Structure 1
Amino acid sequence: MRILIAGASGLIGTAVSGTLRASGHDVVTLVRKPPSSAAEYQWDPAAGRIDDRALEGADAVINLSGAGIGDRPWTRRRVTELSASRLGPTRTLAAAMARMETPPAVFLSQSASGYYGSAGASVLREDSPRGAGLLAEICAGWEAAAHEAPAGVRVVTARTGVVLSRRGGALGRLLPLLRLGVGGPLGDGRQYWPWVTLPDVAGAFEFLLTAPLQGPVNVCAPESADVNALIAQLAKALHRPALLRVPAPVLRLVMGQLADELLLASQRMEPAALAGAGFRWQHPALAEAAAWVAGRD
């Protein structure tokens, strides 16, 4: 397949493009700077501009664009940027597909577990209602923008959970502390994080290119775990203690609203659509995932 990727330079984008190329797919990418190879095409999503040649002959478009949710404090300006960096690129891609006589057959656009807000211990499947909060609002708009793609395009919105990687991503700041034995759970640790390893995210995106699925798809591992269990397994795999719990009031004092929506929110997400379609995880169990993160798989 010829696949166009937006956001290919990020953590997930790098893994997805690498996996697709290893499988023999022809991958081309969108870049904001002048292209440096025949596999790159320039665009300016903030202005709604794109080189339409990027979509010529494409079988699928993968949209991974968006500013990092936890990279900076949530000032009013940053919140506007978080939304615009998702809606602008998504609408630009949908509009470009609408201009084509034969648009790509598949539009795989990333969303996030934040769609569900904080739902305690309730099991969240793809048909669960949208939650409350800023992230839920952003995700709802993000997904709606993807569905502006022309009729006949199979649109999949991948609600990705907390991505476990050996470096960067959700564990970018926590993992070094755990390696030093000075990390620990966040808040009371009873909030559920819908975790998934980076290789399984890449594998899921490749699977979704041809799987008979459309609409929202939860991208997470089949084994649910709260933060206490997640941190305990990572610490065990690293042969380090994890005793230094960070209380919720401290997180709120330092991070404000970001703490409640990103770190303390509970989302017991279930990958019902992926499992039902026959997807196979490399790391379906938390112990396997922790061993992979620690480099002990």
Structure 2
Amino acid sequence: MAGASGFLGTRLVARFTADGHQVTRLVRRPPRTPDERQWNPSAAQLDPAVVADADAVVNLAGAGVGDRRWNDEYRQLIRSSRVDSTTTLAITIAGLPAQDRPKTLLNSSAVGWYGDTGDRAVEEDAPAGEGFLSDVCRVWEAATRPAEDADVRVVRLRIGLPLHRDGGMLKPQLLPMRLGVSGKLGGGRQWWPCVSMVDFLNAVAFVLEREDVAGPVNMVGAAPVTNAEFTKELARQLHRPAIMPIPALALKIVLGGFSVEALSSSRVLPGALARAGFTYRHPDLPSALHSALTA
């Protein structure tokens, strides 16, 4: 697994380990534990023997899109950290003898593929949208092609907004909400493709085992909600008011380029998961938020 130390990666390692899998973590620094192997994706360096020993490869590597204000340098890091890691893994896998290749590559992508969909609901067959993150997702997903051409099953995980109190898009909202100084973002009409962390982890484990699932898979909840609905339900569960909407201009000042994404609408549906028969533990926002706040 690449990206094993991140917000999603640490939880996925724990889940896979609990399921009885042995996880080897790819790290850029010298290894510190027996389950680590060093690589340098920015220089396309990875010992082929590392992936030759694997049944599957999972790639979650990439700089956080909401971690810093976007300037030209950070935009390039967002792009290169994803494309370089994916390219290195896909080419290394493809270069192995057929009998030594992992059977599966689960490679992260994002619902940013679709751009701003407004009120239009989209599934996996929708084309890429417009904007910076859509462009990143387009080249990011294309970088998996060498593995796919080598007859490796490739699943492109178009990840939405997994909910957990310790990270992601939920954590930075908790303190302002508890202080009573929060509210909907902008007009609040934008759709958010939220999913409980439990369901996200279950969905990754599900597609890992389902050999008939390949291509893009929207890793989102059973139904998207608007930002206004999300904010109202979060306030209810925290027993706090949500009476201070955050104007779009303020978001632009604080977040810079990322404000465009925070205010964009992603009405993304889990078409592939639904067709494959995936069952949600938390199919609605109240149960997903309750899990996120109490787990």
State the TM-score, normalizing by the size of structure 1.
Answer: 0.95
Tell me how far apart the structure 1 counterparts of residues 57 and 23 of structure 2 sit (CA, whole Å).
10
2:17 is aligned with 1:21? yes
Deviation readout 1:136-172 (Å, 9 max, x if unpaired) = 0000110000122142101110111012111111122
Q: Does 1:78 align with 2:77?
A: no
Distance in structure 1 (CA, Å) of the matches to 2:11 and 2:177:
24
After TM superposition, the structure 1 = structure 2 runs for residues 225-236 of structure 1, keeping only pairs within 5 Å, are 225-236=225-236
How many angstroms apart in 1 are the aligned matches of 2:292 and 2:197?
10
Deviation of 1:215 after TM superposition, in Å, equals: 0.9
- Indicate conservation of the 8 Å contact 1:192/1:224, yes or no: yes
- Identify the range of structure 1 (210-219 vs 170-179) with the bigger mean alpha-carbon deviation: 170-179
Per the alignment, do residues 256 and 37 of structure 1 end up closer, same or farther by CA in structure 2, a change over 3 Å counting? closer
What is the CA-CA distance between 1:278 and the residue it aligns to? 1.2
Aligned-partner SS, 1:148 = helix
| Secondary structure in 2 matching 1:209 | helix
1:21-40 → structure 2 map (5 Å cutoff): 21-40=17-36
Question: Which residue of structure 1 lines up, in the alignment, with residue 119 of structure 2?
Answer: 121
SS of equivalent to 1:50:
coil
Distance in structure 2 (CA, Å) of the matches to 1:204 and 1:252: 34
What is the aligned-residue identity percentage? 42
- Structure 1, residues 249-278: CA drift from partner, whole Å, max 9, x if none? 221233233111x21110100001001101
| Letter of the structure 1 residue corresponding to residue 116 of structure 2 | S
* Partner residue, 1:287: 286
CA distance in 2, matches of 1:171, 1:134: 23
Q: Which 5+ residue runs of structure 1 have no aligned equivalent?
A: none
Aligned partner of 1:147 among 145, 167, 181: 145
2:48 maps to 1:52: yes
Listed as ranges, the matches of 1:200-215 within 5 Å are: 200-211=199-210, 212-215=212-215
How many residue pairs end up in the alignment? Answer: 291
CA distance in 2, matches of 1:109, 1:192: 24
The unaligned stretches of length 5 or more in structure 2 are none
SS of the aligned residue for 2:177 comes to helix
Q: Which segment is superposed worse, 28-37 or 171-180? A: 171-180
Superposed CA deviations along residues 94-134 of structure 1, whole A, max 9, x for unmatched, are 11102211210100000001111101010110001211000
Alpha-carbon separation, structure 2, partners of 1:45 and 1:128: 30
The ranges of structure 1 where at least 4 consecutive aligned residues each deviate by more than 6 angstroms after the TM superposition are none
Structure-1 separation of matches of 2:162 and 2:244: 22
Is the Cα contact below 8 Å between 1:15 and 1:199 reproduced in 2?
no
The CA deviation at 1:179 is: 2.3
Which residue of 2 is the match for residue 256 of structure 1? 256
1:163-222 C-alpha deviation (Å, 9 max, x unpaired):
211111112211221122222110000000101122221111111112221111101001
Matched residue SS, 2:191: coil
Is the CA contact (8 Å cut-off) linking 1:119 and 1:267 kept in structure 2?
Answer: yes
Which residue of structure 2 aligns with residue 109 of structure 1?
A: 107
> What secondary structure does 1:170 align onto?
coil
Q: Is the 8 A contact 1:28 1:40 kept in 2?
A: yes
2:39 corresponds in structure 1 to 43
Q: Quick one: distance in 1 between partners of 2:34 and 2:151?
A: 29
- Please, which of 30, 38, 61 is the counterpart of residue 65 of structure 1? 61
